[in-house]
Amino acid sequence: MPRVEYVESACKSALNRVQGMSFSWSLNPYVGCSHSCHYCYARAYYQIANHGNAGRDFETRILAKTNLPEVLRRELRRPSWRGETVAIGTSTDAYQPAEGRFRITRRALEAFRDHANPIGMVTKSPMVFRDLDVLADLASLAKVRIFFTITTVDLALWRTLEPGTANPFKRLEVMRRLIDGGVPCGVLLAPILPGITDSIKGLDAVARAAHDHGALWLGSSALRLRPIVKDHYLTFVEDEFPELLARYERAYPFTNAPQPYQDALSARVEKIRARYGFAEDSMRKSGFADPLPTQPDPPATRIGRQFVLPTL
């Protein structure tokens, strides 16, 4: 992995208003993410905000909002604050390696605990277990939901797709330990990558592992490719899965996967979810997989063969 530069920065506000989602507020202690997931939608935010490019800069130049916990406490004390749920980690992983150095996320959680304020969080990191004490205290006072993203349990494929993340089985073991400690957790199987992680075998393996580790929910969503992210991801596909590049280019003229593919994928995941006793996918409706309002793509003329779900 390349050397990572940490840049301390000051934020004017900690809570960010979110429009059109099931949650109204988000909080991100860091900007950029050294987990380096090639499909990450947050790459676009980084470049649009002029922090650097969505490729190497996003992965190696991490901004740490060192004053965020103090700003957050002021905002939570405002008479106008209604104690709404805050989504943590919508455009960065709050437990990426930077947290081991700065501990911004822990201090933010302490603020939420002190105000009994509900939170939801998405992470790929076992480091979250270090804050079990704060999370358990908060969960006894307010609604807490932790979502562990698991895209695959194929260890060779995991390292290709998410080179800076922890082994998915380590994430699942920490999830089990958090649940045992009184913190509700589930698995977010997202994004599902066409032609790469969408086979019955691959999806079933994630669902089985989630079930075996006591996940309370299993959510999912198909890959979406916005501008900027698409450029990075298709370069990655060309390097690692060149046989899929032309199909991706045809299938993603806009942001979303073709609707017939989405429908077939949803049906496949629902069967697998039912097999392991998971309830309806309420997590998909939460918007945590991609926290911007979903806009339908304009009608497109069918162009050649796109993606067909594999059977194995």
Half-sphere exposure of 21 (CA within 13 A, CB side): 22
Can you tell me the distance from the alpha carbon of 151 to that of 134, in angstroms, rounded to the nearest whole number? 27
Rounded to two decimals, the pTM is: 0.90
The pair of structure tokens assigned to 102 is: 């700065």
pLDDT digits 0-9 by tens, 153-204: 999 999 999 999 999 999 999 999 999 999 999 999 999 999 999 999 999 9
DSSP string, 28-41: -SEES-TT--TT-T
pLDDT at 20: 75
Assess if CATH 3.40.50.970 describes domain 5-286: no
Q: Is 89 left (phi over 0), alpha (psi -120 to 50) or beta?
A: left
Domain segments of the chain as ranges:
5-286
Quickly state the pLDDT bin for 22 (edges 50, 70, 90). Answer: confident
pLDDT at 2: 72
First-to-last CA distance in the chain?
32
pLDDT digits 0-9 by tens, 130-167: 999 999 999 999 999 999 999 999 999 999 999 999 99
- On the 0-12 / 13-18 / 19+ scale of CB atoms within 10 A, 202 is buried
Residue 291 has pLDDT above 60, yes or no: no
pLDDT digits 0-9 by tens, 117-126: 999 999 999 9
Residue 302 has pLDDT above 70, yes or no: no
| Residues with Cβ within 8 Å of residue 240, at least 6 apart in sequence | 160
| Residues with Cβ within 8 Å of residue 160, at least 6 apart in sequence | 240
pLDDT at 204: 98
